[in-house]
């Protein structure tokens, strides 16, 4: 009898402690909820600077609807030359939807409707006259899960150049493949097994193969949708180094769930929340001195 009484007493004490620890958290989440409400209002002005000095792509008032549900609300953002823009935010906030607007991959979803003004070097990419094939050759994409074609490593890289007729003969094609693999840091590992299936590579190698495949068509912008989420830390580090090198030549937009990654690879960071672009600024400012409460809560790990 006495044993169980003591146990009950301990239980009670623990519960009390829990209550105590819960109280501030409650306050916090209430605060977050208030911030949410301020965001949920119709008009929302993005904090920070949406424009870039030398923009390759400009997005103005971009709205995306999936059927009746609106996924993006009036997003304005520039992607500058030789610059990495990191898109961060909790799951379902519209980061992926946003970068899929940039090469019109949302076209493949029947119910998706994209409005707004998205320009690549001043050219409206949503206009009727825009050729999607050409657009996607100029705005390449690397996906979350490595998705090499079930073909040889060579064929994987050569597919894009062949598709667009970039090589006039076999020697040129060989050269494109080698250069692309070199720039993706895969040449040393792959040069002796070019005829073997790309699917036989490790996850990190596959993702670098996908990057090689993307840069083989010489795009102007590279979009990356959580390219490291399926990779281990070593493979991730290699990809991040690679992104750094690639930013010398390309404009890059990268979606990531890792704030450390965003801090490491990007010059600018955009924080999305519930389909709205809350804040965009230079990366170190976002992480050290964010302008919006939600951004601060997210980057300090209070939610997300």
By CB under 8 A, the residues from 212 to 251 that bind another protein are: 213-214, 217
26 CB neighbour count, 10 Å cutoff: 10
- The 150-189 site mask, x for binding another protein (CB under 8 A), equals x--------xx--xx-------------------------
Nearest distance, CB of residue 64 and another protein, angstroms: 17
Which among 265, 275, 267, 270 is positioned nearest to 298, based on CA atoms?
A: 270
CA distances from 225 to 77, 87, 95, 123, 222 (A): 17, 9, 9, 24, 10
By CB under 8 A, the residues from 196 to 215 that bind another protein are: 197, 199, 210, 213-214
Residue 176 and residue 157 in contact, taking contact as beta carbons nearer than 8 Å = yes
Among 35, 73, 84, 136, binds another protein (CB under 8 A): 136
Residue 142 and residue 222 in contact, taking contact as beta carbons nearer than 8 Å = yes
User: Exposed, middle or buried by CB within 10 Å (0-12, 13-18, 19+), for 67?
Assistant: exposed
Helix, strand, coil shares, percent, the chain, to 5: 45, 25, 30
Name the segment binding another protein (CB under 8 A); options: 20-28, 89-97, 126-134, 249-257: 126-134
Instruction: Determine if 9 is a binding residue for another protein (CB under 8 A).
Output: no
By CB under 8 A, the residues from 62 to 91 that bind another protein are: none
- Which positions touch another protein (CB under 8 A)? 3-4, 7, 103, 105, 108, 110, 132-137, 140-141, 143, 145, 147-150, 159-160, 163-164, 197, 199, 210, 213-214, 217
């Amino acid at each position: 009898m006495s044993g169980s009484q003591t146990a009950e007493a301990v239980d009670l004490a623990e519960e009390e402690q829990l209550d105590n620890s819960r109280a501030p958290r409650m306050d916090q989440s209430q605060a977050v909820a208030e911030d949410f409400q301020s965001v949920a209002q119709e008009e929302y002005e993005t904090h920070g600077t949406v424009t870039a000095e030398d923009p390759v792509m400009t997005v103005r008032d971009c709205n995306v609807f999936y059927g009746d549900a609106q996924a993006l609300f009036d997003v304005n953002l520039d992607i500058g030359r030789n610059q990495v823009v990191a898109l961060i935010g909790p799951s379902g906030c519209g980061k992926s939807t946003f970068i899929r607007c940039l090469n019109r991959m949302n076209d493949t979803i029947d119910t998706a409707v994209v409005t707004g003004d998205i320009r690549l070097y001043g050219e409206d990419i949503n206009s009727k006259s825009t050729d999607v094939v050409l657009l996607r050759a100029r705005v390449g994409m690397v996906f979350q899960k490595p998705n090499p074609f079930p073909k040889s490593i060579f064929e994987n890289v050569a597919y894009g150049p062949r598709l667009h007729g970039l090589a006039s003969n076999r020697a040129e094609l060989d050269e494109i493949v080698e250069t692309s693999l070199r720039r993706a840091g895969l040449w040393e590992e792959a040069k002796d097994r070019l005829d073997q299936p790309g699917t036989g590579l490790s996850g990190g190698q596959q993702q670098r193969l996908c990057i090689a495949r993307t840069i083989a068509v010489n795009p102007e912008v590279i979009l990356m949708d959580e390219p490291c989420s399926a990779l281990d830390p070593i493979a991730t580090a290699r990809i991040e180094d690679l992104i750094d090198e690639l930013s010398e030549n390309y404009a890059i937009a990268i979606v990531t769930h890792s704030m450390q990654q965003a801090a490491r690879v990007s010059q600018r960071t955009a924080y999305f929340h519930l389909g709205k672009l809350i804040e965009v600024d230079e990366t170190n400012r976002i992480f050290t001195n964010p302008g919006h409460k939600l951004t601060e809560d997210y980057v300090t790990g209070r939610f997300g």
